[in-house]
Structure 1
Amino acid sequence: MESCGMSFIKYLLFIFNLFFAMSGLGIIIAGALVLADVSDFSHFVTSDLVGPPIVLIVMGAIIFLVASLGCYGAIRENYKMLVAFAVFLIIIFIVEFAVGITAAVYKADFQETLKKSMKKSLEQYESSSNNNIEKAAWDNVQQKVKCCGVNGKSDWSSTPMSCCYKDKMDESDQPEEFCVSGGRNYIYKEGCYKRLQMKIESNTKILIGVGIGIAFVQVVGMFLAFWLAYTIKKEDESK
């Protein structure tokens, strides 16, 4: 006969895993949003920028599957499944911790790589009038991120029209620079590197926040899984 204590832990773990599964879906959505955001400038350092949100999406899918395993193990009171669930959580936790440390260590290197890649791309754009790939990448990022050049418009020997915009922006602290090209009257003052750096920082905060939330949930899940597994084993031994 199932004890009250075991019943309580079992249903508590089951409810926890429902929330855990939903957090997996939330992680997938967060990863997809970050991936869509970095796609604006992924041309410059594709693998470095696209990697983290893809890892997040994959981790979200794994968490959803592991949570499903935990739900099944809790309802079936399966000792081996519960231990496997707890071990999976530990592995995921270690991987997340390692990825977080790696990201922190290589953050400065990544930003320097981004800047060098942007400068090289700009040079390639200006060195060939038929370089449509570089032109499309710069036109896209300058219009979407509202910037010009790597550090500013002075990076360009001839300012491209994608650096220009029609209506005056609210930047009263700096004098307006004029463009007068194709019906666009003003030039974006800020360089694209600084703008992209801000976007990366923003995305990093999202990833860190999601990671901390997941880590807390995982620790709770490990505790509940081992607790229920221990209770099941103890009751089996007492029969």
Structure 2
Amino acid sequence: METYDEKTNTCGMICLKYLLLTFNLLFWLAGGMVMAVGVWTLVEKSDYISLLNSTYYSASAYILIAAGAIVVFTGIVGCCATLKEMRSLLIVYFILLLCIFLLEIVAGVLAYIQYQELDKELQHNLKETMVQKYQQSGEESITSAVDKLQQEFKCCGSNSSSDWSDSVWILTPSNDRLVPDSCCKTPSNLCGRRDHPSNIYKVEGGCITKLETFILSQLQILGAVAIGIAFLQLVGMILVCCLYRSLKEESY
């Protein structure tokens, strides 16, 4: 009968260990990618949070960061379990992979619900936020977010540039602009006095459609990443099971 050392050094065992270590490397990279997307959402797109009454957008970013950290931690557990060849640690690793896999399914359902809620919120609140709070005292974050939104997405107003005719700021007697300067294709001071299509984003459509498209594209990217990670997890769980069966029971 072959000894334990002989068994653990067989070609099959070595291949399993290297495959599992490779899987953990990919899993780490995936976790880092998820964390990076979460941080990017908070840093680069945080201005848009002020345009939404709900906390869905910011909460999703924090969830991504937390999920990425859990994935990285799970990868460390996997490496330790593989290198030490401990069946008990492999069980813990398998359970962690399974839990993350189930959480991804739940997160996918919540992401779909989140998009539906955000869509309704944008339809009902974006125009009101723009016309009531733009350039108002104490609403500097709203003003900055609206300006960034209109310039980044090349749009003007919620549904169209005509939305600004109801703006509290536009209707102020001391203001002679027809639209904010951020509606202009080439922004400059007082360029909003002229609302001709050659000067502003008048025929390009409102911001609400473009913001909805942006949010949907973000969810699609997250969905693709989640599917990729889920596939990796299934492969990892199969490898863990194979390595577990190849190892003898630990002696106590």
Could you tell me which of 110, 115, 123 is aligned with 1:107?
Answer: 115
**Mean Cα displacement is larger for which, 157-166 or 204-213?**
157-166
Aligned to 2:29: 22
Cα deviation, 1:212-236, whole Å, max 9, x if unaligned, reads: 100000111111112212221xx33
Aligned partners of 2:156 and 2:183 also within 8 Å:
yes
Deviation at 1:211, TM superposition (A): 0.5
TM-score (normalizing by structure 2): 0.79
- CA distance in 2: counterparts of 1:44 and 1:179, whole angstroms: 22
The answer as to 2:207 corresponding to 1:187 is no
**1:74 and 2:87 aligned:** no
Q: Please name the residue that 1:89 is paired with.
A: 97
TM-score norm. by structure 1 comes to 0.83
CA distance 1:136–1:35, change in 2 (3 Å)? closer
Given candidates 130, 133, 137, the residue that maps to 2:137 is 130
Matching residue of 2:125: 117
Aligned to 2:184: 164
Asked if 1:139 is matched to 2:147, the reply is yes
1:43 aligns with 2:56: no
Q: Is the 8 A contact 2:115 2:215 kept in 1?
A: no
Partner of 1:209: 224
* 1:23-65 residue CA offsets vs partner (Å, 9 max, x unmatched): 2112222333344443241111262112223212221111111
Q: CA deviation at 1:135?
A: 2.5
Task: Report whether the alignment pairs 1:218 with 2:225.
Answer: no
Contact 1:38/1:49 (8 A) holds in 2: no
Percentage identity across paired residues of the two chains: 33
Please state how far the C-alpha of 1:17 moved relative to its aligned partner: 1.0
Cα RMSD (Å): 2.5
User: SS at the partner of 1:186?
Assistant: coil
Residues 2, 69 of structure 1: alpha-carbon distance in 2 compared, 3 angstrom cutoff:
farther
Letter in 2 for 1:165: K
SS in structure 2 of the partner of residue 121 of structure 1: helix
Gaps of 5+ in 2: 171-178
1:11–1:75: 8 Å Cα contact kept in structure 2?
A: no
Larger strand share, 1 or 2: 1
Q: Give me the whole-angstrom Cα distance separating, in 1, the residues matched to 2:22 and 2:130.
A: 53
Displacement after TM superposition at 1:10 (Å): 2.1
Distance 2:143 2:42 in 1: 22
Distance change (3 Å), C-alpha of 1:2 and 1:114: farther
Could you say if the C-alpha distance between residues 142 and 217 of structure 1 is closer, same or farther in structure 2, counting changes exceeding 3 Å? same
Any stretches of 5+ residues in structure 1 without a counterpart? 168-177
Deviation larger for 19-28 or 88-97 = 19-28
Give yes or no for contact 2:127–2:159 (8 Å, CA) kept in 1. no
